[in-house]
Amino acid sequence: LSLIPNSNFVADAGKGCYIVRQENPGHIIKFERIDPFDFEENDVPDIAFDPDVKSLSVCNVDRIWKVAYVTIYETECVGRDEIVFETGKTTDNNGETASCITFIVLCPPTTFVHLCYLTTDDVLSVKIESDVQGWSKHPSPDDTHPQLLGFPLAQGPFLCTQGEHGHLTHFFSGNLHAIDLRCPIGTPLLAVGDGIVVQSNTNKSLTGIAVSNLYEWNSILLQLDNQEDPLFVEYVHIKSSNVCIGEKVKTGDIIGFSGSVGFSPEPHLHFAAYRRADPDAVTVRVHFVAKDGSSYLPKAGNYYSQVGPSTD
């Protein structure tokens, strides 16, 4: 079990995924600061390929931080010191599976991030997907809801593979306080409080680490009974749902079963809480209550269950 330093993420939970930051660049080629005035008359793409050395780069000529997810399919990619990046897999909704790697890049302003070399002569045939956006920072990273929650999974204990501020997918406003729990497909999902079902979507089957998977998933959204301080909780990557929109649930009810649908390097539950249910809502921190009445916040690298943090 290995934590990427200061990332709140367990390294082996992201096979084929490579987190790239200035303070921890891994085996990418390099970060390069640039003068944006040198490119004023050029239309610089977000993702660029240098045919002379066969390198792939993220290009940021703007004065804002950007987040880039870049997937390279079915191609050997080599980094600094001739390190070959290990591939992962992705499967679309039609059941077609491909090997790939995905870089998760936090790119500073006016910086080029040179990721890797492609070891193929037929570069025009290489399939590359990317999503590059301004970094959407959370406006209130310390926002904490007072309601204590039950645990969202039956049985266990389960390894937390990514906690809040996790560097794989939990570092922007819509996911900042989320937690990921490694669990076998089909693990019962439990209502963490009394409430009502607001959404239940289970019509997707894609899985893996492709950039395009970031925008498709299966999920259940509950609104918990708290009129004075609304709270919504979401269960993501699920396989199936036992509940319908409008149905009332009680704490501990089985509402569905876990899966690995969406951007999901391995089977796990992604759990997040919000004060609103709209698509642009930002997350809020929530604590869970252990069997002995104490509260806790899961962190990557530790195990948890309905009893609470594991002491084994």
Query: Which residues is 232 bridged to in the sheet?
Result: 223, 274
Cβ atoms of 167 and 21 within 8 Å: the answer is: yes
Q: What is the per-residue pLDDT for 261?
A: 98
Q: Please name the residue ranges forming H helices in 155-225.
A: none
Q: Report angle CA 62, 278, 251 to the nearest 5 degrees.
A: 130
Q: What is the per-residue pLDDT for 312?
A: 65
Cβ atoms of 8 and 165 within 8 Å: the answer is: yes
Tell me the C-alpha distance between 193 and 229, whole Å.
14
State pTM to two decimals: 0.95
Regions in the chain scoring below 50 on pLDDT: none
Tell me the C-alpha distance between 209 and 46, whole Å.
20
Q: What is the per-residue pLDDT for 2?
A: 61
Beta strand pairing status for 268-274 and 179-182? antiparallel
The 3-state DSSP class for residue 146 equals: strand
Cβ atoms of 68 and 46 within 8 Å: the answer is: yes
